[in-house]
């Protein structure tokens, strides 16, 4: 009986040992292995070159420069009374236009006389004898003063004609009529170029208006 019980106890003990071993060795859990994928290559964007705005340069206007005529070679051929006016004759080689002339601000009307060669003939009011005056020549096509020179008028008559007083509108205003004759002159543009218009006075006041745009 005792031997049977001992066998039974041995079996129970063996069973307990096996059960303990079974519990001591748990079934290992499945751990998934991490798979490292190769990096995906993302293509870099190719920069697109933007078109640069083209600056168009407008063509430059061509300016034609007309050479300015040199008047420094002009000379006085003669000066004196002529038919109630004062006549001034100038010589200028190759003269090709009738320049506007003022004598101390008094306007003279000029013309080219082809029959006398390179002559510029100018007519205006009577001028005093022997006075030192200033000639100013103005380009009739531009209205710009081109040349200035000083000149002393003849001290006596060279038989060009009889000297007369300036042609004032009223010759009997006062005894000083014709003395200190002077003009206020302006240059105007007409259909044919530039010309001069003046209002002239003397010691008695207004004397006469002169318009070189028309024949004197």
Cα dihedral 114, 115, 116, 120 in deg (nearest 10): -30
Mean pLDDT by 10 residues, the chain (216 residues): 52 54 48 51 54 55 58 91 88 90 92 88 88 93 92 76 65 79 82 80 86 67
pLDDT at residue 65 in the model: 46
What CA–CA distance (Å, rounded) separates 119 from 75? 10
């Amino acid at each position: 009986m005792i031997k049977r019980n001992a066998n039974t106890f041995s079996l129970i003990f063996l069973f307990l040992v096996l059960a303990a071993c079974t519990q001591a060795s748990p079934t290992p859990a499945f751990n998934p292995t991490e798979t490292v994928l190769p990096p995906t290559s993302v293509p870099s964007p190719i920069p697109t070159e933007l078109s640069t705005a083209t600056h168009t340069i407008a063509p430059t206007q061509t300016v034609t420069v007309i050479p300015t005529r040199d008047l420094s070679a002009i000379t006085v051929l003669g000066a004196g009374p002529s038919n109630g006016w004062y006549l001034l004759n100038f010589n200028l080689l190759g003269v090709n236009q009738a320049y506007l002339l003022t004598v101390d601000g008094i306007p003279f009307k000029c013309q080219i006389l082809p029959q006398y060669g390179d002559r510029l003939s100018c007519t205006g009011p009577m001028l005093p004898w022997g006075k030192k005056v200033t000639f100013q020549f103005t380009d009739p096509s531009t209205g710009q003063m081109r040349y200035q020179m000083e000149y002393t008028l003849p001290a006596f008559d060279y038989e060009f004609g009889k000297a007369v007083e300036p042609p004032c509108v009223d010759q009997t205003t006062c005894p000083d009529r014709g003395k200190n004759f002077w003009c206020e002159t302006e240059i105007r543009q007409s259909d044919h170029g530039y010309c001069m218009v003046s209002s002239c006075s003397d010691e008695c006041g207004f004397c006469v208006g002169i318009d070189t745009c028309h024949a004197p």
